[in-house]
Every structure is written in C-alpha cells, then in structure tokens.
C-alpha cells in the first residue's frame, strides 16, 4: 500500500538546519531555526532548569498517570504566569499540553466543534494554518503586516475582521509576532477587544514567546487585557522558549468561560481532544516548570535568566538597526529596534535569501525571516553588508 504514497514537501526550516550543518565555511551564520542562542551560539539548559531537574530526581516517587489535563499543580501554577494575579481565575481552566503546538492543536480541535472558520494573520507561523487545516477549519487570512513600513497594518487588519461572522475563531499572536516581530500597541489591542466583543468573535491567543519582548508581565498584557474584557476566549501558551525546554514539550491550553460551570464543560471537551490525540501530556518539562514556579527563590532566578535572554535580543536589535543606519544612511531598518522577540522579516526576496545562503553562508528562511538571536555581536556588520549587497 505504501507505494501509493508521495513524500510530503520538505519542511523549509528543517531543510535549512541540514543545509547549514553540511556547510563547511567557518564564518557561516545560522539565522534559520527558531531557538534562542547565547553569545557563543549555544542553546543552553538554564541553571534553574538544571536545579529543578535535580530536585525532581531526588523527590519524585512515582511516574504513574496524571489525567488528560496533566499535573493539576502545574495547571494551578501556570495560570497566574499567563493571566496575572488579578485573573478571573474561577472562569479559567488550564490543561498541560505537549508544547504550544499541542495546545493549539487541542484548542483548534475543540473550536471546530463550535465554529467552521478561523482567521489567521498574513503572515503567520506556518503551523497555524497546518493545524487549522488538520482540524478541518476553513482558513481565512487577515492582512497584518505592511511590508512597506515593516509595521502592523492595523486599519487593514480591523477592516478584514469587521467582515468576520459571529462565532468565527480569530488567531492572534499575544506578543513577539512570528515571523514579523511586529506587535499591536496597547491602544490597538484595546480597539481589537471592542471589535471582538461587538462582532462576537472567539479569540485564540498564541503566547509562545512570553518574556522575550518587553518582559514577562508586559508580554502578557494583551492576553490579560482580553481576559478582563471578553466573555470567552482560548489561549495556547508555550514553555519551550522562555524555559528553554524545547524538546521536553511543555505548554498549556486555557479556556476562559462566561461562568465557572461553562468553563468546566469546555475544559472537559478540550480534554476529549487530548484523549484522542496523545491521551496525556509528557510530564518531565511540566514538573520542572512547576518546581520553578512554586519556589520563590528559583522563580526569581529563572526570571533573571529569562531577562538575560531578553536583553541580549534587545541589544542585538539595537546593534542591527544602528549598523544598518551607518551603512545605508537611512532609518529604513529602525523597525528592527521597534519590533519584538526573536524574529523579523529583513525584506529580502526568495532569490536574495538564496544568494545570502550561497554567497555569504547566511542561512535565513526563504521569506526573509531572521532569528536575531542567531547573530553574534561581531557578525552584525558582516550580516548588514551582505543584506545591503544582495538587495543592490
């Protein structure tokens, strides 16, 4: 039977990883895959994660099953991290998931029981549409990014969502938009909340980079604002980046209901999605996160480690924008300083991205997305020179 199968198209980012590994040039630069890198180019295990793992090893007495929603203690600990301490917690239910992807998957599967359509920003992280398609949701794209200004085109976004139908699902990036790095301002989030309420749209907020933009609480501002105003909403969060536990597959799915009872029923429905998908989430990463969140000193130390990552990205953004200013004598790349998180679109064509790879050993995604954290400080000017050269 397998002879009937055709190989799926190769994943663009994964193909970049192998092409980069095979490149023997010593000065090659990897700006492709979306993981944080420190100044040595490593994606290290955080010290607080190591300490939590030591404690886990010393104290864990059983590896027996938790339920479909994972460890209740993890779920309790993660709610204030995302929703803050003033959260309407009686209306919020949390489920531990295999990464942010697992959360998106069960939430879209759940939403597909209520609605048929999802609005996804153009552009967005590629897996959003892939998961939506898998959940049999009809995908509509709303304009998000203005390539001419490299900033959010909020009027166009609003105009598109004005036309959405009541009950439609709307996917939003909570912070550090992937791939553009361009986020809504607080005023725009507030206007968007008005629109979501008026049009009776169901928001699904993806929060994958909390702590990588302006800070842990600052980056959750949009989620918290929407939670304080919307009757119902869904949130998918990831611990992959901010705890650096990518392969341990840890995240959470949240349901905000109109009432505590409605939230509980919705949670039970989301659990059914988990049941038929992966049954129960992996425990290790969630146990590590729980230990960190429950211990005051460890929590403070983790926040400091996260701040180190965040400020490295902010410094690189500033350094890049300044280098482009010097090289081009213009403010055309100042958006790099204003954008948030690991990613920005550098504004090259697919052809130019390929040239950057072949001629300069600079690996970035074909759409021009760069992972800023992949740069070392002393590579900034080389990178800028290469971009200016290929853009002509």
Q: Which residues bind ligand PLP (CB under 6 A)?
A: 34, 99-101, 125, 178, 206, 208, 238, 240, 246, 251
Q: How far apart are CA 142 and CA 146, in angstroms?
A: 12
Q: Which is nearer to ligand PLP, 34 or 109 (CB)?
A: 34
Considering the candidates 94, 111, 112, 208, report the single residue annotated as catalytic.
208
Answer for the pair 388, 327: CB distance below 8 angstroms, yes or no: yes
Least distance to ligand PLP, CB of residue 271, Å = 19
Active site residue 206: yes
Nearer residue to ligand PLP within complex by CB, 20 or 246 = 246
Which is catalytic among the residues 30, 71, 77, 125? 125
For the question of residue 125 being annotated catalytic, the response is yes
Nearest-CB residue to ligand PLP? 99
Question: Minimum distance from CB of 208 to ligand PLP (Å)?
Answer: 4
Note if 302 is an active site residue. Answer: no
CA distance 171 to 256: 15
CB of 43 to ligand PLP, least distance (A): 13
Per DSSP, helices labelled H in the chain are 12-22, 47-59, 72-83, 99-111, 126-134, 154-162, 186-199, 216-219, 221-229, 260-277, 284-294, 296-328, 335-338, 350-360, 380-391
- Please tell me which residue in 103, 132, 203, 241 is annotated as part of the active site: 241
Among residues 30, 168, 183, 206, the one annotated as catalytic is: 206
Q: Find the largest Cα–Cα distance for the chain.
A: 63
Long-range contacts: 303-311, Cβ < 8 Å, 24+? 303/216, 305/46, 305/47, 305/48, 306/211, 306/216, 306/242, 307/211, 307/215, 309/36, 309/38, 309/211, 309/212, 309/242, 309/244, 309/373, 310/211, 310/212, 310/213, 310/215
Shortest Cβ 126–ligand PLP spacing (Å): 9
Q: Nearest-CA neighbor of 104 among 231, 205, 209?
A: 205
Pick 75 or 384: Cβ nearer ligand PLP: 75
- Phi, psi at residue 245, to the nearest 5°? -115, 45
> Of 91 and 369, which has the nearer Cβ to ligand PLP?
369
Identify which of residues 250 and 323 has a Cβ nearer to ligand PLP in the complex: 250
* Least gap, CB of 134 to ligand PLP (angstroms): 14
Active site residues: 125, 206, 208, 241
């Amino acid at each position: 039977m397998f002879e009937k199968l055709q190989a799926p198209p190769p994943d663009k980012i994964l193909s970049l990883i192998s092409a980069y590994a095979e490149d023997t040039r010593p000065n090659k630069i990897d700006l492709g895959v979306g993981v944080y890198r420190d100044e040595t180019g490593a994606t290290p295990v955080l010290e607080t994660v190591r300490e939590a793992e030591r404690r886990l090893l010393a104290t864990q007495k059983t590896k027996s099953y938790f339920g479909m929603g994972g460890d209740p203690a993890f779920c309790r600990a993660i709610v204030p991290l995302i929703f803050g301490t003033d959260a309407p917690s009686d209306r919020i239910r949390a489920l531990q998931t295999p990464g942010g992807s697992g959360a998106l998957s069960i939430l879209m599967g759940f939403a597909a029981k209520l609605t048929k359509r999802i609005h996804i920003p153009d552009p967005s992280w590629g897996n959003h549409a892939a998961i939506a398609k898998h959940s049999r949701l009809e995908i509509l794209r709303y304009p998000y990014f203005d390539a001419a200004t490299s900033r959010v085109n909020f009027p166009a976004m609003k105009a598109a969502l004005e036309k959405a139908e009541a009950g439609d699902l709307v996917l939003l990036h909570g912070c550090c938009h992937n791939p553009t790095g361009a986020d809504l301002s607080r005023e725009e989030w507030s206007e968007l909340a008005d629109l979501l309420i008026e049009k009776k749209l169901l928001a699904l907020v993806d929060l994958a980079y909390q702590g990588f933009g302006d800070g842990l609480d600052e980056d959750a501002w949009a989620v918290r604002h929407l939670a304080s105003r919307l009757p119902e909403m869904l949130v998918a969060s990831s611990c992959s980046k901010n705890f650096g536990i990518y392969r341990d597959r840890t995240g959470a799915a949240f349901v905000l209901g109109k009432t505590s009872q409605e939230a509980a029923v919705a949670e039970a429905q989301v659990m059914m999605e988990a049941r038929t998908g992966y049954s129960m989430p992996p425990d290790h990463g969630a146990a590590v996160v729980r230990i960190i969140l429950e211990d005051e000193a460890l929590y403070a130390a983790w926040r400091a480690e996260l701040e180190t990552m965040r400020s490295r990205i902010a410094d690189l953004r500033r350094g890049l924008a300044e280098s482009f200013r010097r090289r081009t004598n213009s403010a055309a790349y100042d958006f790099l300083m204003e954008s948030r998180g690991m990613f920005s679109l550098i504004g090259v064509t697919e052809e130019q991205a390929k040239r950057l790879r072949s001629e300069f050993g600079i690996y970035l995604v074909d759409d021009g997305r760069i992972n800023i954290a992949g740069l070392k400080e002393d590579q900034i000017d080389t990178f800028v020179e290469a971009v200016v050269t290929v853009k002509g």
